[in-house]
Structure formats: structure tokens, C-alpha cells
Amino acid sequence: MNKHLESSIAALIRPRVAADSFLGFDPAEQIAKPLTADLDIGRALNSAFLIVLAGKTHPSFSRAKRLLKHISEKPEWSTIASFYLKGVDLIHDEIESACKEDPDFAQRLQNLSGWLSHDHGSLSNQETAESMWALFFPEGHGVRAHRNELIEALREKRAVTITTLNTNPITDPARQMLFTSNVLLTLPAPSKSLHELPVSPYLREQLLQISHERQLHWYDHPIQIGVDPEKNEVLHGLRGLDEALEFERSRCNIALNAKATCVLSVSVTHQGLQGMAKRYLEEEFRRSAGLKNLDLYVFTEADTRLLRDDILAPAAAHYLDCKDTKEHLAVFGVDGEYGRHYSFLKAIAAFWSILLQPAIRATFKIDLDQVFPQKELVEQSGASALEHFMTPLWGARGLDSNGRPVELGMIAGGLVNEADIAKSLFTPDVPFPNRALAPDEFIFYSALTQALSTGAEIMTRYHTDRLNGRNTCIQRIHVTGGTNGILVDSLRRYRPFTPSFIGRAEDQAYILSTFPNPDTKLAYAHMDGLIMRHDKNAFAQEAIDAASTAKLIGDYNRILYFSAYARALTNDIASVKELIDPFTGCFVSRIPITVVYLRFTFKAASLFVEGQSDRELDFIRLGARRITAALDFIYGEKHGLADQYEKEHFGWNLYYDTLSAIEHGIAEGHEYALDLRKRAQRIIRQCAIDFS
């Protein structure tokens, strides 16, 4: 066992006067109490873990270890207690390995141990935070004191010198771009009676049957069927896009009778919802007026399976002589973790351009809780939303700050919070935090690096000689789930995707799949002024609050998945980190298991101190189960993550090779390819939303 780690944990959990106590309570007291209720057991397990991690010199070490072992033998608590027991060994193994491989890491751990072992008064101070971040969260070390210098340094690192602007940029966005978004759909809220829902009798009957199904997928804040129209993200986001296009028509950016095309993926929590999703959306739009500037298409997992089984798989077998095509092409779908639908919403643009609308040259994704604030865009940036897409930066080529060639085949904008837009369109949606830290934030504080990256990347303006948006710009690493797009040509050549096991930050993970390419690097062009208004807190706060625990645990697993995924892509983690730090890179940790366990246990301790007893027990139960599943998938004997990545990489290559073969067949007039196109068009027509 590492003595410096043990002494550090012991110093953090030792009892002190209340005002100076790091956790706010003495864990030893929690394991000495009678365990009469489930909450008592949960708290005792969490406290016992920290005491055991502090080592044998802690007076309650033996009692804590016996408690963990005893409770692990109780069937109803075995999973949670085993999670804590396993964590002690995993952490010590990880720390020992890191110390042996990296002398600098070992020195930082020794420094932290020395700092915490001395009496500095309150441990809840900035000096303690910096000492702990130096070990657990090096990406945030020094940011508070040097943020302005770091913003400028990050812009320099992201700078691109343009060698060739795109000579054939987007000129008619409404015709040449496929707009996409995702709908997360679930059953009505338990408080709502099915008989009182504002839906047709047919949908009520379907919902009654589906309510008995086993839930298959979980999402942060899915739309509950029957939610009030003003709280329905689909209506909000698509009305906003429709109004933005009407504004463009007034500026003569859209032909008189033209419409833009929008594709929605619908990810559902219960399988039965697939069959009724389109009908539900049609009813919602008919009750609240349709969309006059959009042709809307909806794809559930059942619809994507039809495209896969009737179009893609037969074509792959016919043209590429590929066996097991349905299995390999299973990457093409929308249900499951967020990475799955995210990849679909990009990849569908290539399918669309070959089999439906050859004019489509790009795709752009929005989130349905954000809209284009056209008036402010024109007033403050000088261009409307569609006018921003006509930039020759999108598709330009250049050299990054290290002299490596890049292709700016993707584009990224930014967000402004609805509450801040009155100040300025260019108000960071993630400002630098200015509050006291919670215990878990001494371990990992991504709000700090997110604010740094937001200021350096998303808030960059092209109004200096150094960065003018003509022969110099910046590439983006930090992007948001909406407000980004890719040219179809770049999509087909680089074939980026987010693995289906990525359940959070699927937008950040998307570009990572292209990193092994040794030649020209695919990159995002930062578009100065392409900003959408983020309205989530204005109309969906209840859903956000309800999903906060699941979202937080997903953030922990994000560290595990990103750290393992980066290592599955390359052995040169230092080079990857150099590129994606500070925000995306902070989730690629040198010691991911240690960071996740400490974040989790310190957060559980905070919920105890704050008196959030109901949330505390749910947090411990859900967290232990989900983190254990992630650890088993990543580090288990079957090496699930690395194998899954390779399978999906093969599947997406097969997808694009198949489309190229179909395209060639159509160009050559092959009857088989022409028939595939007709069949694809029939399937797509069935997915169109009827507003009448």
C-alpha cells in the first residue's frame, strides 16, 4: 500500500473542529453507530471505504474493514459493499503503477502528503486545492491564478494558418445542408393519468401496453409523453428553427417556396415507443400548428434497422462480398447510449446525399433546447445563421501551431444562455466559477477547465491581425452537442464516429476517432458569431433537476470511458493530451479509477452534510451499480471496450464503403443500385412527418 496516499486520505478525513473539517464530519462516528436503516448502512459503507483507504494507522481501520466484509455478505447490499471493497485494491494498484512509471507523479503525491500532514488551519482553502489538483486534476492546476495568460496560450495552441480557403463553399444552406437533432422519448410522468393525456385514443391504448414493458435505456432528461407544450423540447427547438428560416427568407437567403430538410433521431426508453413515436410527434404538431419551412423526417431504431437490413446490408453483400453484414452494420442506429444516435445524425448525411438529395453537401446538428437568435446575430455579428455557413473557412486547409496539416472540414459555433443574451451575444455560457469548493471538487473540477476552454475557444473573435478569420483562425477541440456540423466530403473521407459505449460528452468524443490518422488531421473551424441561444433553464428546469443524480454519475463514468478510449486509440497519450487539454483532456486521467472513487465518496459525504438523505441513498445505490458496470466493461477479462471500438471502427468503414459502392453503381446505371435507391426513398418517405 502506498504510504503517501494513505497519509493524504488520513489527513483529509481526520476529525477537526467543524469550521476546519474537510468533510464536515468524522467518518469513524458513522461506522460506530447502530445500522438500523438503509441510509445508515449506505453512509457507513461510504465512511468505511475512506477509513480503509487511509490505512492501518487509522484507529478505526479494523472495524471499517470488518464492516465492509460483513455487509458484502448481505444479498441486498453485496453489490454496493463489493464496489467499495474492490475500490480499495484498484486504487492502490493504480497509484503504485503510476508512481513506478512516472517519477514526477510520485513526487507530486509525496508533496501532497507533506502538505496535508502539516496543520495549515482550514483545509478548505485554495492552497489545499492547488496541492490536490497537482496530483488528481493537473489540467486545472494554476488556472485560477493565471487564467488570462492561459486563455491566450490556448488560443495560440489552437491557431491555424490558412494555406487554402475552400474554393467551393456552401452557397445555399437551406438546400445544401441537412439539419439534424435528437429526441429522447419516454413514458408519461407517473403523476399523469393515461386517461387524461392530450393524445388520441390509439396512443393511449399503445401507452397502456408499453407501460408494462421493461425499460431498456436511460437518458438524462427524456421528453415525457403528455408533457405540457411549453415544456416540450421538440416543439420548442423545431419552432425556433422554423422561425429562423422564415427570418432567412426575409433576407432572400431561401427561395420563395423552398424548405430545408431536418432529420430527427428518436431514442426511446421502452421498445414499444418506437412504433408510436412518429404518430405522437404528428399529433403534437397538429395541435400546436405545423412547420412551414421544414421537411421533417423521424427515425427510430426500427426505422434505422429497416434501412440497414433492406438497403445497406444487401448492398454490402452484393458489392463488397461481405458476410455477416447486418451484424457489422449494427453500428447504424439510434437507441442506446448517446454516442450511438450522435454518430447516426452525422452519418445519415452521406446516405441522404447519395440516395435522396445529391444537393446535400453538409450536415449541422442542433439541440432542441437552443434556437438561433437571428436579430442579435445580425446586429452583433453582422450575419444571420445561414450566412455564417457560407464562410470559406469551412472546408479550408491550413497548418496548425505545430506545423501539421489540418483540414477544417467541420464547423463549430457557441452558445449564450437565455438569461445572458441581453448583455451580449458574446457572453460565455460557462463563466469562471467563483464560489467555495465542495470536497469532491478538490479532486476534480471540470467547471474550471470548461470555463477556460470556453473563454479561449468559443469566445474567440476574429478582429485582430493575429486571428482575422481570413488567413488565420483557430481550430476547435471543445464543441457543444448542438451547434456543430461537417461537410459530407470530409465525413466520407475521414469517417469519424463516437463509439456507442460513450454515454456522456459524445460531442467531445466524436473527433477522437480520427486521431490515429497519420496524415492531414480533420479539425473544426471556429466560426466567430455562430451562436445559438440556450433555453434549457427557461423551460425544462424540472427535468434537469430530476436527472441530476444520473447525470453526475455519468460524468464519473465519462472519466473512465474517455481515459480507456484514448488508450485504445494510441499508446502516445502524451500527444493526445497535448492536443485536447484542458477541458476534453481533463477526462483522460492518469489515475481514472482513483479520481472516480474519490469524487464519488466525497460527493456522497457532501450529500450527508447537506442533509439530502433521499438523494444520498439513491446516489450511492445507482453510482455503485453503474460505476461497477463501467469498470467491468473496460477492465474486465473480456476487454470489452477495446474490442467494441474495433468492431465499430470496422462497421463504420463498411458503411461508407457500401455507400461508395452504391454511388458508383448508380452512376454506372446498375439496375441493382437504382432499385436500392428506389427502395431507400420509399422507406424515407414513410418517415416523413405529415403536418396536415
Tell which phi-psi region holds residue 217, choosing left (phi > 0), alpha (psi between -120 and 50) or beta: beta
Q: Is the pLDDT of residue 50 over 90?
A: yes
C-alpha grid cell for residue 596? 472516480
pLDDT value at residue 45? 97
DSSP three-state, residue 338: helix
Determine the 3-state secondary structure of 214 from DSSP. Answer: coil
Instruction: Give the C-alpha distances (Å, rounded to integers) separating 687 from 134, 207, 374, 606.
Output: 52, 21, 30, 48
Q: What is the pLDDT of residues 349-371, one digit of tens each?
A: 999 999 999 999 999 999 999 99
Average pLDDT, the chain: 94
What pLDDT is recorded for position 611?
Answer: 86
Amino acid at position 641, single letter: L
Residues whose CB falls within 8 Å of the CB of residue 471, separated by 6 or more in sequence, listed in order: 161, 162
| Cα distance between residue 23 and residue 13, in whole Å | 7
Q: What angle do CA 571, 576, 582 make, to 5 degrees?
A: 140
Please, which pLDDT band fits residue 546 given cuts at 50, 70 and 90? low
Q: What mean pLDDT is predicted for residues 62-88?
A: 96
Q: With H, G, I as helix, E, B as strand and everything else as coil, classify residue 529.
A: strand
pLDDT tens, position by position, 310-340: 999 999 999 999 999 999 999 999 999 999 9
Q: Is the pLDDT of residue 64 over 80?
A: yes
Nearest-10 crossing angle of helices 38-53, 61-72: 130
* Residue 421 and residue 538 in contact, taking contact as beta carbons nearer than 8 Å: no
- The pLDDT, as a whole number, for residue 465 is 84
Burial of 283 (0-12, 13-18, 19+ CB in 10 A): middle
Is 80 exceeded by the pLDDT of residue 394?
A: yes
For residues 471 and 692, what is the distance between their CA atoms, to the nearest angstrom? 49
Q: Which residue has the cell 472519466?
A: 559
Mean of pLDDT values over 460-475? 94
CA dihedral angle for residue 156, residue 157, residue 158, residue 163, rounded to 10 degrees: 80
Query: How many other CB atoms are there within 10 angstroms of residue 611's CB atom?
Result: 9
pLDDT for the residue numbered 247: 97
Alpha helices in 420-475 (DSSP H): 446-453
Query: What stretch of H or E contains 417?
Result: strand 405-417
Under the banding of pLDDT at 50, 70 and 90, the label for residue 193 is confident
Region 435-444: what's the mean pLDDT?
94
Burial class (CB within 10 angstroms; exposed 0-12, middle 13-18, buried 19+) of 258: middle
* pLDDT for 12: 93
Tens-place pLDDT, residues 419-434: 999 999 999 999 999 9
Tell me what the mean pLDDT of segment 188-215 comes to. 91
Question: What values do phi and psi take at 277, rounded to 5?
Answer: -60, -45
- As to burial, measured by CB atoms within 10 angstroms (0-12 exposed, 13-18 middle, 19+ buried), residue 438 is middle
| pLDDT at residue 18 is higher than 70 | no
Alpha-carbon span 169 to 80, nearest angstrom: 55
Would you say 584 and 610 are in contact if contact means Cβ atoms under 8 Å apart? no
pLDDT at 327: 96
518 pLDDT tier (thresholds 50, 70, 90):
confident
Residue range 90-105: mean pLDDT, rounded? 97
Residues 6 and 57: their CA atoms lie apart, in Å, by 9
Task: Pick the closest to residue 7 from 89, 111, 120 (CA basis).
Answer: 111
pLDDT band at 502 (very low <50, low <70, confident <90, very high): very high
Cα 344 from Cα 338, distance rounded (Å): 10
pLDDT category, 538, cuts 50, 70, 90? low
User: Mean pLDDT across the stretch 48-59?
Assistant: 96
Contacts 24+ apart (CB under 8 A), 211-215: 211/187, 213/270, 213/271, 213/272, 214/270, 215/269, 215/270
Q: What is the pLDDT of residue 142?
A: 96
Question: Is residue 239's pLDDT more than 80?
Answer: yes
Q: pLDDT > 90: what percent of the chain?
A: 86
Q: Are 347 and 657 in contact (CB under 8 A)?
A: no
Q: Is 327 exposed, middle or buried (0-12, 13-18, 19+ CB in 10 A)?
A: exposed
Position 32 pLDDT exceeds 90: yes
- Taking Cα atoms as reference points, which of 496, 436, 620, 408 lies closest to residue 445? 436
Q: What is the CA radius of gyration of the chain?
A: 26
What's residue 194's pLDDT? 87
CB 196, CB 225: distance < 8 Å: no
> Does pTM top 0.75 for this prediction?
yes
CB within 8 Å of 16: residues ≥ 6 apart: 22, 123
Beta strands 370-371 and 362-365: pairing type? unpaired
- Contact call for residues 600 and 497 (beta carbons, < 8 A): no
Residue 121 has pLDDT above 60, yes or no: no
Confidence of residue 464 (pLDDT cuts 50, 70, 90): confident
* pLDDT for 78: 96
Nearest Cα to Cα of residue 596 among 548, 631, 645, 545: 631
**234, pLDDT greater than 80:** yes
| Among 288, 290, 281, 291, CA closest to 261 | 291
Which DSSP symbol is given to 230? G
Is there a cis peptide before residue 229, judged by omega within 30 degrees of 0?
Answer: no
Helical axes 548-569 vs 640-667, angle rounded to 10°: 80
Please give the share of the chain, as a percent, with pLDDT higher than 70. Answer: 97
Q: What is the pLDDT of residues 625-680, one digit of tens each?
A: 999 999 999 998 767 899 999 999 999 999 999 999 999 999 999 999 999 999 99
* Phi-psi sector, 396: left (phi>0), alpha (psi -120 to 50), beta: beta
Mean pLDDT of 172-193: 94
- Residue 539: Cβ within 10 Å count: 16
